[in-house]
Amino acid sequence: MGMDLLIVDDNASLRCVLRAQLEKLGHSVREAGNGAEALTLLSREPADAVISDLKMPEMDGMELLRCVQKTYPGLLFIMISAHGTIQDAVDAMKNGAADYITKPFEADEVVRILEKTESVLDAQDEPRLIEAPGGRPMVGQSRLMEELRAIIERVGPSDATVLIQGESGTGKELVARAIHARSNRSARPFVAVNCAALAEGVLESELFGHEKGAFTGASAVRAGRFELADKGTLFLDEIGEISPGVQVKLLRVLQERVFERVGGVREIRADFRLIAATNRDLQAEVKQGRFREDLFYRLNIIPLLLPPLRERREDIPALLNFFIESVCARTRSAVRGITVAAMERLLRYNWPGNIRELENFVERALVLARGEEIDVADLPPHLTDAPLPPSAGSGSGLKSSLRETRTDIEKGYIIAALKEENSNRTNAAKRLGISRKSLQLKIKEYGLENL
């Protein structure tokens, strides 16, 4: 399928010939006479790839390559030169060029380069995952997920305290593990504590540890989670549930990084990074007097708000496929996918339990599914009872209505993605979580070529 290409060369005749060749292959082509002009064009409308001469006035190809790599990371760059040397090729590839060819070149060589380049584009278009040791990938290509990934990449290497807020089931621990995996502490322990699952006395012992004889049943010295997380990361999940007494002690640890075990008097120092998570609005809790304001500000150094699944519905298909593959690999289920009609139900549902609810749905559906695809009949009542779009009746009328609903949903997502990405098809495909080739086919199918 065609790509959006930018040819940069001070030779107008060569640009004209090359443009004609590329447009015959179905590509959309723009031209620039030098590097500075190329950057101006890219600022107005991004491209899938740049094909640039090496030697040009004002700004040569190597300088343009460096600017493109800095401003448009991931944009594919092909260097062309009539005076190429091995060192030029090495320098171009070292600076991020996808390939390097010398003039004069045959049309077949251009085709070969572009086919290889397009295969790279299509590989980049597949949904990206963030792997966290001990966890699972973060799946999704929505704008909200892309923003979250970018924040994780920036936050990870620091030692700053992070407060993750979001509804239950949005993947707060998964994000915490991803942050730890990108930190300088990744080789050290990731220690997780669910504060809501433990009573106050038990939680205090879990966090701080206890000395032998500190209370009934304390038959030996026990290290707490602060000690176990030394040089690593401590993740306190549902921190909004801790009692006022534990809040005071936690505040001191965050301020001084020292504490005593329960029943002990010796100060223990621990070097850990803290990541906390909650499904509560801690600012509201502070106003209600249920959470200490000074502790809140200690925790809220870098706030992260995880979006609920209903705000990123475009990620549901990718998540669903991921869970189906994961569960099938574990259970050897014969189910391999989901019907269009069933998918439409899932896209309309609000998922109050978020990703956790979706995963539980897949577990149930794979057990109850009657065929190789999850169908409407395999869905639980709260999904099958959702209102259907108006139809003329059952049978073929219902199928037609479902097809129309799917078309409307899909077409709407594509139009929105193209508008948000200023008609750049590569970025729109990434936003939609599909390959660029798939998007090109859909654009043609729905008559959206002029968007």
Residue 172's pLDDT band, with cuts at 50, 70 and 90, is very high
- pLDDT number for residue 136: 59
User: How would DSSP label each residue in 364-423?
Assistant: HHHHH-SSSEE-GGGS-HHHHTSPPPP-SSSTHHHHHHHHHHHHHHHHHHHHHHHHHTTT
Q: For a pLDDT cut of 70, what percent of the chain falls above it?
A: 80
Using one digit for the tens of pLDDT, what is the confidence trace for 338-375?
888 888 888 888 899 999 899 888 888 888 787 888 88
Residues 277 and 291 reside in one and the same domain:
yes
Residues 282 and 342 reside in one and the same domain:
no
pTM here is 0.57
Q: Which amino acid is at 113?
A: I
- pLDDT number for residue 116: 57
Cβ(247)–Cβ(240) below 8 Å: no
Residues 303 and 319 reside in one and the same domain:
no
- pLDDT number for residue 8: 93
Q: How many domains does the chain have?
A: 3
Q: How many residues does the chain have?
A: 451
Residue 133 has pLDDT above 70, yes or no: no
Pairing of strands 337-338, 258-259: unpaired
Using one digit for the tens of pLDDT, what is the confidence trace for 315-327?
888 888 888 888 7
Mean pLDDT across the chain: 80
Residues 120 and 244 reside in one and the same domain:
no
| 321/135: higher pLDDT | 321
Asked if the structure places residue 228 within a domain, the reply is yes
Asked if the structure places residue 210 within a domain, the reply is yes
Cβ(159)–Cβ(272) below 8 Å: no
Using one digit for the tens of pLDDT, what is the confidence trace for 235-270?
999 999 999 999 999 999 998 888 888 888 888 888
d(CA 154, CA 423): 28
Residue 151 has pLDDT above 80, yes or no: yes
Residue 385's pLDDT band, with cuts at 50, 70 and 90, is low
**Last residue in a domain, options 262, 287, 307:** 307
3 state SS of 134: coil
Strands (E), 73-168: 76-81, 99-102, 162-165
Which CATH number fits the domain that encloses residue 387?
1.10.8.60
**Which tokens is 356 given?**
């956790």
Residue 288's pLDDT band, with cuts at 50, 70 and 90, is very high
Range of the domain at 178: 143-307
| 451/63: higher pLDDT | 63
